Amino acid sequence: EISKTQKYTKAVYRSLETAKRWALTVTDALATKLKQNKNAMETISILVDKIGGIILAAPPGVYSEEEIHTIRHKKVFDRLAKGWDHLKKKEYTKTEELLRSIFSDYAEDAEALFLDARLHWLKTESPEEGIKRAEKNLLAAAKGDLPGRGRLHNLIGCALDEIGKLEEAIPAFRKAEELCPEDCIYPANLAEIFWKLGDARQAARYAKKAKSMGDRSEIVEEIFQSTQRGKKSD
């Protein structure tokens, strides 16, 4: 019956996901009681998987690209997290193994494609190669994976920054910000780029925006304080 009405399918799926997340992350008595009820948690997980399958099996256009991506991404999330752990330890072969496993299930996952591009940059020790891989991966990336696509654009911006092509980095960071307006890292990166270019007005604008979104990086604070002092001296 759930699969017959789209809005009910989505509502039940969201409710079950919320209940599961609440039980696993909240520390009040009711959440603890649900988490300790193994049968209930197992039933919720089974229902989430089944309803997710219904959504994925629906004809194109019934559900949004973002909704479809969210379900597919959950299946590879744990492997992706392990891949980043291996990358941080410079365990490149293990990272590649996990990426192959992820791509066998979801080749268009943009966050995995971002990991792939970052791995390629580090292995080749070449920002230019990182740019090429990120641009290639963007062509394959799921349209509904906005955070992952944003990170690929951000990687391009960071690589251009590293090789001194500061003005060329601006559109990449702006595209990342457009895709993920809730992420403070992108206005922070724009603040830094404009600061390097000597454009204090734009740097101050983006530093203020990044701070208002929760950014606590040293460079953003430095830009913010320097430009505030400049205003006072005027």
Q: At what angle do helices 185-196 and 218-233 cross, to 10 degrees?
A: 60
So what's the pLDDT on residue 5? Answer: 57
Domain stops at, among 145, 160, 181: 181
Q: For the CA atoms of the chain, what is the radius of gyration?
A: 21
Compute φ and ψ for 109, nearest 5 degrees.
-60, 115
Model-level pTM greater than 0.85?
no
Low-confidence stretches of the chain (pLDDT < 70) are 1-8, 10, 12-13, 16-17, 20-24, 31, 44-46, 48, 51, 230-234
Neighbours of 220 (CB within 10 A): 25
The per-residue pLDDT for range 96-113, each reduced to its tens digit, is: 999 999 999 999 999 999
Residue 106's CATH number: 1.25.40.10
- Looking at the structure, do residues 167 and 191 belong to the same domain, yes or no? no
So what's the pLDDT on residue 50? Answer: 76
So what's the pLDDT on residue 8? Answer: 60
Query: Mean pLDDT over all residues of the chain?
Result: 89
Residue with tokens 């203020």: 208
- Looking at the structure, do residues 177 and 68 belong to the same domain, yes or no? yes
From first CA to last CA, the distance across the chain in angstroms is: 68
Nearest to 116, CA basis, from 164, 76, 74:
76
Q: Which residues contact 181 (CB under 8 A, 6 or more apart)?
A: none
So what's the pLDDT on residue 115? Answer: 98
So what's the pLDDT on residue 193? Answer: 98
CA distance 187 to 177: 7
- Looking at the structure, do residues 176 and 202 belong to the same domain, yes or no? no
User: How many structural domains compose the chain?
Assistant: 3
CA distance 122 to 138: 18
Compute φ and ψ for 63, nearest 5 degrees.
-115, 155
So what's the pLDDT on residue 44? Answer: 66
So what's the pLDDT on residue 216? Answer: 95
- Looking at the structure, do residues 68 and 177 belong to the same domain, yes or no? yes
- What HEC string does 138-159 produce? HHHCCCCCHHHHHHHHHHHHHH
Structural domain range at position 166: 64-181
- Looking at the structure, do residues 158 and 190 belong to the same domain, yes or no? no
So what's the pLDDT on residue 56? Answer: 75
So what's the pLDDT on residue 188? Answer: 98
Tell me how many degrees the CA angle 141-144-145 measures, rounded to the nearest 5: 60
How many alpha carbons lie under 13 Å from residue 165 in its C-beta half-sphere? Answer: 14
- Looking at the structure, do residues 153 and 89 belong to the same domain, yes or no? yes
- Helix locations, 26-126, DSSP H: 29-36, 38-57, 65-74, 77-88, 92-105, 110-124
